[in-house]
Amino acid sequence: MAAALKPVYTAPTVEAALAELAAFEQGQWGQRYAPIVASWRRAWDQVIPFFAFPPAIRKIIYTTNAIESINAQLRKIIKTRGHFPSDEAATKLLWLALRNITGKWGSSTHDWKAAMNQFAILYEERFTQPHH
């Protein structure tokens, strides 16, 4: 079902997304699970702003696997460690963990780089590049 909905949120425009939603509605999943289409239509006003972003940013928004993976790894580290003598100790452990996690990233980060470039263009006044 997720694959059948993907054309809706990856559509280039709001109009194209609406057409894809209609196609989903007429397809096997839409016929079988009509409440899904109804839910998308009820929330359409909240979906539309998503299409104002360039494709690189939209991909980062709808691709949550990387974020979920980081959160799972951090939860595991905290659970394994258990008790912390101070907030600073917990912060240091999380910082080191994030450094290790991001150090293992490979070519999949190219999506993040493209999104960061788009954010820098759209929100120049609020976006700062880290100093090297």
| Whether residues 35 and 67 fall in one domain | no
pLDDT over 80 (residue 103): no
| Whether residues 47 and 73 fall in one domain | no
Q: Classify residue 132: in a domain, yes or no.
A: no
Range of the structural domain that residue 71 is part of: 61-122
| Whether residues 112 and 67 fall in one domain | yes
User: What pLDDT sits at residue 42?
Assistant: 95
User: What pLDDT sits at residue 110?
Assistant: 59
| Whether residues 12 and 35 fall in one domain | yes
| Whether residues 116 and 73 fall in one domain | yes
Q: Classify residue 130: in a domain, yes or no.
A: no
Contact criterion met (CB below 8 Å) for 14 and 48: yes
**Separation of alpha carbons 71 and 35, rounded Å:** 30
**For the purposes of burial, counting CB atoms within 10 Å of the CB of 29, is it exposed (0-12), middle (13-18) or buried (19 or more)?**
middle
Dihedral angle, C-alpha 21, 63, 108, 113, nearest 10 °: 100
Residue that wins the pLDDT comparison between 121 and 20: 20
Q: Roughly what angle, to the nearest 10 degrees, separates helices 14-26 and 34-42?
A: 160
| Whether residues 36 and 75 fall in one domain | no
- The total number of structural domains in the chain stands at 2
pLDDT over 80 (residue 105): no
Query: Which residues are within 8 A (CB) of 53 and not within 5 positions of it... i.e. 6 or more apart?
Result: 61, 118, 122
Mean pLDDT is lowest, of 12-16, 35-39, 108-112, for 108-112
| Whether residues 42 and 6 fall in one domain | yes
pLDDT over 90 (residue 35): yes
User: What pLDDT sits at residue 27?
Assistant: 93
User: What pLDDT sits at residue 11?
Assistant: 92
User: What pLDDT sits at residue 107?
Assistant: 55
**For the purposes of burial, counting CB atoms within 10 Å of the CB of 21, is it exposed (0-12), middle (13-18) or buried (19 or more)?**
buried
Q: Classify residue 129: in a domain, yes or no.
A: no
| Whether residues 28 and 75 fall in one domain | no
- Mean pLDDT computed over every residue of the chain: 84
Rounded to two decimals, the pTM is: 0.56
| Whether residues 26 and 67 fall in one domain | no
CA distances from 38 to 22, 67, 132 (A): 11, 28, 49
pLDDT over 90 (residue 118): no
User: What pLDDT sits at residue 23?
Assistant: 96
